[in-house]
């Protein structure tokens, strides 16, 4: 159990939380700008102006360089960076994954992080990349867990300790790792080695990595998605239960002339207009920004502004209970993100357990909405609806409603439900008048099941003439299906 994390509000598996660190409380979800201790285009002391509440830097880079190491040991990390809020430090594992080795042991880097006054320290885990043979994933995982256990023994108070979840692209290893780490009681659980998945747009695999790790954790534990800094995927990752993000992307993208938006990236050379009103974009034309002497810094600033803007929108969506609508919107920005959304909804049974029973109006956003946890919840609860006598199922009230014992509304993607529930979440959904094929199918499946669950009742289904679906034939076999013309 993690007592330094308090959950304030939930939506899907996402939440607004408060993480208490030695240097203060952080509201999550939030993004930690990555500070390079060697080069700082934007000073750490300025980061609060963008919305940053917590920073992340690399203790291994500090450790390796005499000048930085001595200053950090003497004056502390917060003085070195000139930032008095919470700072997380990584361990050198990323360098390990890129160069194959590091000149530091787990014990040394944990000791160093404690000595320089880090708020959240990270052991020297092994970031096993995607698609490696299972034997390698298993043996590296074993080493990671040993090092994490050792770190847990070494850190008793003060610094919070992160326990990175590894397991490559093996969901069962991710889940097992998370379960074993939970026993050791870490303060934050980063999900590791996901950067290669994000770089190659493998969002469906990313979704599986997140969900499998989440399943092994206590739902109240704070989660960090290591290396996730593109705003277009914040909504999706937050909806799956990630609380902390870190972004080196704002600076790395800027170096390559890349301009971030919440729905993708432009190369600044291709922009004729600036689709943003941040302080950088209101002061420059696209051409001026492209040709500016300080183009890299200006782009980094813009990238940070849109990054925090998107996170605020995600948080507002949690407050309003429409995070999944934002996820569905954002995931339409790229087909690979859409694959991530579809994969996320394959886990709707898990999402459903986290999702609040009541929130703001369900908005239909497209065929994927048929797989939302709320729709699954209704399907799972059809057994609870007992219908006796005669029943009419129709889209809108009809003249003959009074002739029936039961009135049911037919509304895709749900199906048929008693009219009394019409104003209740999620049946008060805003939907399209002409449902997509998949969505009509889901609604007809549910309707057929409801009829089959109540074999003694007599059902009349008023079919709107324009609706076509092969399941209407099956429905006609168990109910009296009537064309709506002349009925309304």
Binding region for ligand GUN (CB under 6 A): 90-91, 93-94, 122, 125, 127, 164, 192-193, 195, 226-227
Q: Closer CB to ligand GUN, residue 138 or residue 320?
A: 138
Q: Which of 11, 90, 243, 246 is catalytic?
A: 90
302 binds, among Zn ion, ligand GUN, none (CB under 5 to 8 A by kind): Zn ion
Query: Rule CB under 5 A: is residue 281 a binding residue for Zn ion?
Result: yes
Q: Closer CB to ligand GUN, residue 33 or residue 373?
A: 33
Cβ neighbours of 143 (radius 10 Å): 15
Query: Rule CB under 5 A: is residue 271 a binding residue for Zn ion?
Result: no
CB of 92 to ligand GUN, least distance (A): 8
276 binds, among ligand GUN, Zn ion, none (CB under 5 to 8 A by kind): Zn ion
Strand 480-483, strand 458-463: pairing: parallel
Alpha-carbon span 164 to 106, nearest angstrom: 13
For the chain, how far is it from start to end, CA to CA, in angstroms? Answer: 58
CB 274 within 8 A of CB 286: yes
CB of 209 to ligand GUN, least distance (A): 11
Query: Which two tokens mark 168?
Result: 């490559």
Q: Closer CB to ligand GUN, residue 125 or residue 325?
A: 125
90 binds, among Zn ion, ligand GUN, none (CB under 5 to 8 A by kind): ligand GUN
90 an active-site residue? Answer: yes
Looking at the chain, how many residues does it have?
488
Q: Closer CB to ligand GUN, residue 229 or residue 441?
A: 229
Which residue among 278, 382, 453, 471 contacts Zn ion (CB under 5 A)?
278
CB of 263 to Zn ion, least distance (A): 14
Asked, as a colleague might, if the bond just before 388 is cis with ω within 30 of 0, I would say no
Query: Rule CB under 5 A: is residue 276 a binding residue for Zn ion?
Result: yes
CB of 126 to ligand GUN, least distance (A): 8
Q: Closer CB to Zn ion, residue 300 or residue 323?
A: 300
CB 127 within 8 A of CB 166: yes
Q: Which helix (H) or strand (E) holds 458?
A: strand 458-463
Show contacts with Zn ion in window 285-314 (CB under 5 A). 302
Sheet containing strand 223-225, edge to edge, reads 160-161, 120-121, 87-90, 55-58, 30-35, 244-247, 223-225, 189-191
* DSSP of 221-243: S-EEETT---GGGHHHHHHTT--
Q: Which residues are the active-site residues?
A: 90
| Interacting residue ranges for Zn ion, rule: CB under 5 A | 276, 278, 280-281, 302
């Amino acid at each position: 159990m993690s007592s330094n994390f308090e959950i304030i509000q939930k939506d899907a598996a996402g939440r607004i939380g408060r993480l208490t660190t030695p240097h203060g409380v952080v509201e999550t979800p939030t993004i930690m700008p990555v500070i390079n201790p060697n080069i700082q285009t934007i000073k750490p002391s300025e980061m609060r102006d963008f919305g940053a509440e917590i920073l992340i830097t690399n203790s291994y880079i500090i450790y390796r360089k005499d000048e930085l190491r001595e200053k950090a040991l003497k004056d502390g990390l917060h003085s070195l960076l000139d930032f008095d809020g919470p700072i997380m430090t990584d361990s050198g594992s990323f360098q390990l994954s890129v160069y194959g080795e590091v000149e530091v042991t787990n014990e040394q880097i944990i000791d160093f992080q404690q000595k320089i006054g880090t708020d959240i320290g990270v052991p020297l885990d092994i970031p096993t990349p995607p698609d490696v043979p299972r034997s390698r994933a298993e043996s590296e995982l074993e080493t990671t867990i040993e090092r994490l256990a050792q770190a847990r023994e070494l850190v008793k108070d003060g610094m919070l300790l992160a326990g990175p979840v590894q397991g490559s692209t093996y969901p069962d290893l991710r889940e097992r790792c998370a379960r074993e780490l939970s026993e050791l009681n870490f303060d934050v659980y980063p999900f590791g080695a996901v950067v290669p998945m994000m770089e190659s747009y493998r969002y469906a695999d990313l979704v599986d990595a997140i969900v499998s790790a989440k399943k092994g954790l206590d739902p109240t534990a704070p989660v960090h998605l290591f290396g996730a800094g593109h705003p277009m995927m914040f909504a999706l990752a937050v909806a799956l239960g990630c609380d902390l993000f870190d972004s080196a992307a704002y600076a790395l993208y800027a170096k390559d002339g890349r301009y971030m938006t919440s729905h993708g990236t432009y190369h600044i050379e291709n922009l004729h207009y600036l689709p943003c009103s941040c302080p950088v974009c209101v002061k420059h034309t696209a051409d001026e920004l492209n040709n500016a002497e300080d183009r890299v810094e200006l782009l980094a600033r813009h990238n940070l502004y849109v990054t925090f803007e998107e996170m605020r929108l995600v948080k507002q969506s949690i407050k309003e209970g429409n995070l999944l609508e934002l996820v569905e919107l954002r995931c339409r920005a790229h087909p690979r993100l859409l694959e991530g959304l579809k994969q996320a909804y394959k886990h709707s049974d898990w999402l459903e357990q986290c999702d609040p029973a009541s929130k703001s109006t369900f908005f239909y956003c497209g065929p994927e909405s048929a797989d939302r946890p709320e729709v699954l919840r209704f399907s799972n609860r059809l057994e609870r609806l007992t219908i006796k006598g005669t029943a009419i199922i129709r889209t809108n009230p009809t003249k003959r409603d009074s002739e029936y014992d039961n009135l049911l509304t037919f509304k895709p993607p749900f199906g048929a439900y008693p009219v009394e529930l019409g104003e209740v979440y999620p049946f008060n959904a805003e939907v399209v008048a002409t449902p997509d094929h998949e969505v009509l199918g889901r609604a007809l499946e549910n309707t057929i099941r409801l009829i089959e669950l109540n074999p003694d009742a007599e059902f009349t289904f008023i079919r709107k003439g324009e609706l076509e679906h092969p399941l209407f034939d099956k429905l006609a076999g168990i109910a009296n299906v009537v064309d709506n013309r002349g009925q309304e």
